[in-house]
A and B are shown apart, each in its own frame.
Chain A
């Protein structure tokens, strides 16, 4: 199957992203990991589209691309605000909403 290696790659990328997200404390690196996970999901869609010869996978990829762009712009804005307020990029320092 042509799509199997692509799926394996997508899974590996997703796992890497997730591990990065959970283990990194620097919020910029967490954002990077998040991007990797998004791209892994997009790759899985592309692989699916190729497997069934349908254009839907590519359409979903375009959506995810747009989503990622929007998410990054918002997230970077938040990161800027956080670094202004707390003078740090450590995600564990931002725990004002503790229950």
Chain B
């Protein structure tokens, strides 16, 4: 049954083709059932494949399936071939599982939209491309999926194309990620010229043999791959597109810009971990980038006024944690945080969507309030999501994954103490901004009257995701609390295990965990002090609408947009608008040249037959003369 693997990416693709060609003729109910059904059957197929995979799992670590040769020339064979191992199976399970829930949710959320079929067609295409990305056996097929998800991200951010600024946001996302994609492509070319192969496994085993640790080529390729990952995962310095990407419909933000696509960079680095192990310097860069991004994004999230932008910055921040974990060599911890994050962040986005839906597309949190009694389902699920994100100890999944990352940062030989303190401060900020949302939106007086709870199709996914956000964490529990290692045992067949410093014992682990817990609770407590209506400081601090420069800086994401605007966008536009620029001069000269040449040549067209005959004779003579020489 494992040979059904090829069906998993093909099913959503079929859904896309059906909706793209016949979407106009289907009823809304049919469109929704095709859209959700294709992803749902893909999820069921995943379950069947996984069951078969686990029957022989520890003995047989990977399964390989080649459908046909895509490109076959001398010296280059690229197949449409899939590679299933512990890592890709985890990704596939999350993409199809969470993806299915989000599709079901969208069926109701988008119900009154004109582009219903178009929406589900794009979503299905996205799921198919994302599955291609994670299942690809070679780098070229991976790149195909990589570009495919970028395309779908562009299409879905600009889904409401009648608003010009949404189109601009879509283009921004496309262009900024394209910078990373270009670097990734160059890295891919270098690998191919060095090893004459594009298979991920082959390339890495050859690289390990041919390149010593820290060699120049390994560093260059690792940096190029890192730039690609940074662009896709919205990390510094290519993070500017993600907050604007919130222009898309909320289920899109949940699926693409929280749960799956933005974690493609994490997947890429984990997939190429042999290569990154050859470049320890680059690994340190990854850790520092992750730390800086998580702090910048978390501090920006604290002052945003748009509910979706808060969540966008929190996504950047949480992916920063994953990059930090990758950087210190805690591969499994990064993937565990990916798993829990995709559950609780999808939950948060969907719950936020439910809030926005019931408030008639109001997104400003200063116009919300007191929704706790009106939207109890949304409130409780949102609360669970926020608790998981801020890492409320023992009961939420976010606690276990974030604690694992921070513990790895603490005890890893690659890391420094100040990185750990930075990440701890980030955990405090996470609690602050998550619960700022809760207190702003669900407590206090009602500012906008809600329309009532959403229907079953939206509530169902919320409840399932809330359940997952609470329980997924129990797959891996630290030594001090139960010592469950299901997840790390499972991934140890695909990724190297984390190295720890010698001389680390349980008491220091317990102390470290206590610090993490205190940080998270401190953040939540601070949020309650500052933003809970009726508390002491509320009146003075809650009014965040000041024009203080530091506030504007934070709200604009530390001024990166303005910096890039000054550095790249405006100079470029000035150059193109300048009327007498050098490039145009060249082309104008070409036009003048062609015109005058044409004038001279037209003198030879006398209309006299004898003249033509004479030129033919002379030309023939000249040619003969040439041959004679």
Contacts and interface: CB of A to CB of B under 8 A. Distances in A.
B607 A94 contact: yes
Contact of B613 (A21, A96, A99): A21
Contacts of A91: 608-610
Interface string B375-393: 0000000000000000000
Contact of A18 (B603, B606, B617): B617
Nearest to A97: B607
A98 B612 CA distance: 12
A99 B609 contact: no
B603 A99 contact: yes
B605 interface: yes
A55 B610 CA distance: 36
Interface in A6-26: 18, 21-22, 25
Given A92-B608, A94-B607, A22 B602 contact: no
Interface residues of A, number: 13
A30 B601 CA distance: 26
Contacts of B449: none
B604 interface: yes
B613 A98 contact: no
Interface in A47-99: 91-92, 94-99
A94 B603 contact: no
Nearest to A25: B610
Contacts of A97: 605, 607
A22 B605 contact: no
Contacts of A22: 610, 613-614, 617
Contacts of A96: 607
A30 B614 CA distance: 13
Nearest to B603: A99
B610 A99 contact: no
A97 B607 CA distance: 5
Interface string A25-43: 1000010000000000000
A95 B613 contact: no
A95 B608 contact: yes
Nearest to A95: B607
Nearest to B614: A22
Contact of A94 (B605, B609, B617): B609
Contacts of B605: 97-99
Contacts of B607: 94-99
Q: Is the interface of B mostly helix, strand, loop or mixed?
A: helix
A18 B616 CA distance: 11
B610 A21 contact: yes
Contacts of B601: 99
Nearest to B607: A95
Nearest to B609: A91
Nearest to A96: B607
A21 B614 CA distance: 9
Nearest to A91: B609
A98 B606 contact: yes
Contacts of A98: 605-607
Nearest to A33: B613
Interface in B585-624: 601-610, 613-614, 617
Nearest to B599: A99
A95 B604 CA distance: 12
Interface in B227-253: none
Contacts of A18: 617
B617 to A, nearest CB: 6
A99 B608 contact: no
A94 B605 CA distance: 13
Contacts of B608: 91-92, 95
B602 A92 contact: no
A25 B613 CA distance: 13
A40 to B, nearest CB: 13
A89 to B, nearest CB: 12
A22 B610 CA distance: 6
Contacts of A92: 608, 610
A10 B172 CA distance: 76
Contacts of B613: 21-22
A18 B609 CA distance: 13
B614 A99 contact: no
Nearest to B598: A99
A22 B601 CA distance: 22
A18 B618 CA distance: 11
Contacts of B604: 99
A22 B607 CA distance: 14
Interface string B191-233: 0000000000000000000000000000000000000000000
Interface in B551-609: 601-609
B323 to A, nearest CB: 69
9 contacts: A18-B617, A21-B613, A22-B613, A22-B614, A30-B610, A92-B610, A95-B607, A95-B608, A97-B607
Given A21-B613, A30-B610, A99-B601, 17 more contacts: A18-B617, A22-B613, A22-B614, A22-B617, A25-B610, A30-B609, A91-B608, A91-B610, A92-B608, A95-B606, A95-B607, A96-B607, A97-B605, A98-B605, A98-B607, A99-B602, A99-B607
Interface of B: 601-610, 613-614, 617
User: Top 3 closest A-B pairs, CB basis?
Assistant: A99-B605, A95-B607, A99-B602
